[in-house]
Amino acid sequence: MAKLKSLLKVEGTLDGLTFYKTVDGYMVRTKGGVSKSRIENDPAFARTRENGREFGRTAQSGKVLRNAIRPMLLQAKDKRVTSRLVKVLTAVKNLDNSNLRGDRTIAGGLLSDAGKQAVTGFDFNGQSVLGSILYAPYVLDTAAGSLGMADFVASRDIVPPQGATHVSISLGIAGIDFETGASELRQSTEYVVAVGETSGVAVDLTPASFTTAHPITLYLLLLRFSQEVNMVLYPLNNESYNVLHLLQVE
């Protein structure tokens, strides 16, 4: 694969070369490869078929996860979130010790503590990560389904982007069944505060009653920045500064 450097931008196939556009610019690659029939039937490509099955299953699981948290994800993501998430979920799939190669799944990988840890801490917006924005200590109580900050001071504990006057913080709890694709999401009421506020306050984020039979539960923290104009809060342009962080998986 090569990168096209030219004033002439081409997309499509020409003389055995395929030109296409990505987020990194215009790329070019040669056309060709092993036939589909051979890959599907030749014993020499058994590993390829196994990898293909697992990749497809992993990509589908990534879609299930994104759909499950879509209301939150729409407010904080980057252009590479799909590929970054698939990369992390591939590591989770590799930790599935209950299925043979070719049949390993995300659900199987998440049965282990190592699998849960592999995806914990994922930032859906790679341009704005929780560790560089929020500095207040917090306690996640998974039994109660709540997150608390005992002494939150916005001017001390938040690093806002230029132009932001307020930050909104909320907790989301998502139940997911990767096998069936079923999911459920609950969000707490947002705590909204001016980023320059110097008073300390106890923050409690607790979604509405949440019970689920889904095998996997995700706990997510969302930070949204806005600008006040004439007493109305407006989201910052393209919301690229917002944070969506996966706190814990159970």
Task: Tell me the C-alpha distance between 171 and 59, whole Å.
Answer: 26
In this model, does residue 28 exceed pLDDT 80? no
Amino acid at 159: V
Mean pLDDT throughout 12-40? 63
The tokens of 239 are what? 């919301």
Q: In Å, how far from its chain's centre is CA 187?
A: 16
Compute the mean pLDDT over every residue in the chain, rounded to the nearest whole number: 87
In this prediction, residues 231-237 reach a mean pLDDT of 90
Q: How far apart are CA 26 and CA 5, in angstroms?
A: 8
Confidence of residue 170 (pLDDT cuts 50, 70, 90): very high
Helix (H, G, I), strand (E, B) or coil at 84: helix
First-to-final CA distance of the chain = 40
Q: What is the pLDDT of residues 52-97, one digit of tens each?
A: 788 888 999 999 999 999 999 999 999 999 999 999 999 999 999 9
- Could you tell me the pLDDT band of residue 38, with boundaries at 50, 70 and 90? low
Confidence of residue 8 (pLDDT cuts 50, 70, 90): low
Using DSSP, state whether 102 is helix, strand or coil: coil
What is the pLDDT at residue 237? 78
| pLDDT 10s digits, 112-142 | 999 999 999 999 999 999 999 999 999 999 9
Of all residues in the chain, the percent with pLDDT exceeding 70 is 80
Task: Note the pLDDT of residue 209.
Answer: 75
C-alpha span between 139 and 244 (Å, rounded) = 17
Q: Structurally, what CATH architecture does the domain formed by 130-249 represent? A: Sandwich (2.60)
Q: Which residue shows structure tokens 């029939």? A: 37
Comparing 67-71, 107-111, 206-210, the range with the smallest average pLDDT is: 206-210
pTM comes to 0.83
Indicate the pLDDT class of residue 13, thresholds 50, 70 and 90.
low
For the chain, residues classed under CATH 2.60.40 are 130-249
How is residue 107 written in tokens?
């659900």
How many Å apart are CA 233 and CA 192, to the nearest integer? 10
Residues 12 and 26: beta-carbon distance below 8 Å: no
